[in-house]
Each structure stands twice: as structure tokens, then as C-alpha cells.
Amino acid sequence: MSVYSILPLPSGPTPSDTIIHRYKSLRLLALQTDPRNFGSTYEQELMRTPEVWRGRIVSRSPWPDRENITFVAALPSAESGGTNGGQMVDILEDETREWVGMVGVLAPNHEGVDKNAILSFLERDKEMMDIKEKLHLVVCTTVHPDHRGRGVGKRLMEYAVKWIEDRCKALGEEGVAVLAVRMTNTNAIGLYESVGFKFWGTEKDSTVGSGEMAYRWMYRHVV
Ligand SMILES: CC(C)(COP(=O)(O)OP(=O)(O)OC[C@H]1O[C@@H](n2cnc3c(N)ncnc32)[C@H](O)[C@@H]1OP(=O)(O)O)[C@@H](O)C(=O)NCCC(=O)NCCS
């Protein structure tokens, strides 16, 4: 059995400062260790106000219309060695339980999802246009370098996809997960393919940029 617990961050309006700090630290670490793999930079993110970090965690709408989720992978407590027991928030705030990975999902009703921007270079793809209002954007996938290759990324992705599935079924809607990945990021492409994602359309239509920084969109029909 995996030692890693996969936990959702609380969606309420007041996540604790500890949770916000831990979320921010893991995101900044990812941008430092793998700067080429993400759209934003460490320097940009470092300038974000506490309200911006808080806004990435909270949801304005309750389930099932909730517009975002972040899952984190946490290690057992170094002190107790245990993985079970305790309230979710207590576990998330327990700094003896290191966070070693995360993934986020922005649902179609999230104001940060600029569907027109996503679609602007895929407009020749009719299938994509038809499911414009169903796009769930998977973001910020990362696993701490010391914990890679142990299935953490795959479990995080499985939780993200299941969340999309449950949300869409509860709303009685179709759902599609999409994400952007650098063409050079073979580890991440392997991860996404291992959980059923495919590249969207032709390379010409769905590639943005060129050289090392070129990225492509991947998708998976969930419901
Ligand atoms: C991409 C990343 C999240 C993968 O996390 P991980 O926990 O190491 O992945 P897993 O151990 O769950 O591997 C799942 C699958 O991904 C693929 N994969 C992951 N790492 C790989 C590697 N080094 N080489 C080849 N395939 C790899 C494999 O298909 C693997 O399945 P398998 O073990 O059954 O062969 C991790 O490498 C990472 O954080 N990279 C830096 C940040 C990043 O690039 N994020 C993605 C932004 S789009």
C-alpha cells in the first residue's frame, strides 16, 4: 500500500494561513526545480499577494457546482508514522506530514479559465469547439523530485479525473479534462498518457510556440 495520502484542500472561504503557506511553498518549489515545465515563473509567482494564493484554493460555489479543487500528496507523520485518524484539516495543517505533490482542476465555471484563449488556436477542431463549455483545466501538476517515479503523480491525476467525473455526473453534464504540456516534458506526457490523456488534434493545430518552449494540449473525455 502507498504511504502517500491524497487529500483535497478545503474549499471554504477561510483556508488557514498554514494551508496557504504550504500550498504556496510547494508551488514555488516546483517552479524552482522545473522552471521550463510551467507557464508562469518563480519570480512572477513570488510577487503574488496572500489573497491571490487564497483565491486559488477557495471556491465561491458549493459542491457540485464547485469551480476548483487542489489535491495534495502528503507523507505520514515522521513522529507517529501513522497515516490514519484525525480531521482532514488537522492532517493538512500537520507540518510533520510533508506535502510532496499536488494537482489542481479548474472547472468550466472558474473565472480563470479563458476558454477563448484555449480555443483560439484550436478553432479548426470542430470537436473541441463543440465541448467548449465542458472543459476542466488540469493545472500545477507536480511531484517533489525526491518522490518521483513512485506513482504519486498517477494517483494525483486519478483523483483529479475522479473529481471531474463526480462533479459532471452530479450536474448531469458531459465533462472533458484538458491540460497543456511542454513537448520536451516526456515524464509528464508519459504520466498523462498513463491515465488516458491523448494529444488534441493535429500537431500543427494544437502546438503553441516553438523549440523547447513549445507546448501542446492533451485531453481526456471523462463523462
Ligand atoms: C511529471 C511528474 C508529475 C510525474 O510524477 P511521478 O510521481 O514521478 O509519476 P508516476 O511515478 O506516478 O509515474 C506515472 C507514469 O508517468 C510516466 N513517467 C513518470 N516519470 C517518468 C520517467 N522519468 N520516465 C518515463 N516515464 C515516466 C510513466 O508512464 C509512469 O507510469 P509507469 O510507472 O507505470 O511506467 C513529475 O516528474 C514532476 O513533478 N515533474 C516536474 C513538474 C512537471 O513537469 N509537471 C507537469 C507540468 S505539465
The Cα–Cα gap between 215 and 38 comes to 10
Sorted by where each begins, the domain ranges of the chain are 5-221
Ligand 1 pocket check for 109: Cβ under 6 Å: no
User: CB within 8 A of 16, min separation 6: which ones?
Assistant: 89, 93
pLDDT single digits (tens) 162-197: 999 999 999 999 999 999 999 999 999 999 999 999
Q: How confident is the model at residue 78 (pLDDT cuts 50, 70, 90)?
A: low
Q: With pLDDT > 70 as the criterion, what percentage of the chain qualifies?
A: 94
Give the distance from CA 165 to its chain's centroid: 15
Q: What pLDDT, on a 0 to 100 scale, did the predictor assign at position 79?
A: 63
Please state the pTM of the whole predicted model: 0.94
CA angle at residue 13 from 11 to 138, to 5 degrees?
Answer: 35
Instruction: Give distance in angstroms: CA of 123 to centre of ligand 1.
Output: 30
Give CATH superfamily name and number for 5-221.
Gcn5-related N-acetyltransferase (GNAT) (3.40.630.30)
Ligand 1 pocket check for 154: Cβ under 6 Å: yes
pLDDT single digits (tens) 17-72: 999 999 999 999 999 999 999 999 999 999 999 999 999 999 889 999 999 999 99
Instruction: Give distance in angstroms: CA of 195 to centre of ligand 1.
Output: 11
Map grid coordinates 498554514 to a residue: 18
Contact 56, 68 (CB under 8 A): yes
15 preceded by cis ω (within 30°)? no
What value does the mean pLDDT take over residues 194-203? Answer: 91
Q: What pLDDT, on a 0 to 100 scale, did the predictor assign at position 121?
A: 65
Q: What pLDDT, on a 0 to 100 scale, did the predictor assign at position 80?
A: 55
Helix axes 17-33, 50-57, angle to 10 degrees: 100
Highest mean pLDDT among 27-31, 37-41, 76-80, 108-112: 27-31
Q: Which three cell numbers stand for residue 17?
A: 494561513
Contact 161, 220 (CB under 8 A): yes
Instruction: Give distance in angstroms: CA of 86 to centre of ligand 1.
Output: 30
Residue 220 vs residue 207, higher pLDDT: 220
Ligand 1 pocket check for 128: Cβ under 6 Å: no
- The Cα-based distances of 218 to 44, 113, 175, 202 in angstroms read 25, 16, 14, 11
Residue 123 vs residue 55, higher pLDDT: 55
3-state DSSP of 6-45: EEECCCCCCCCHHHHHHHHHHHHHHHHHCHHHCCCCHHHH
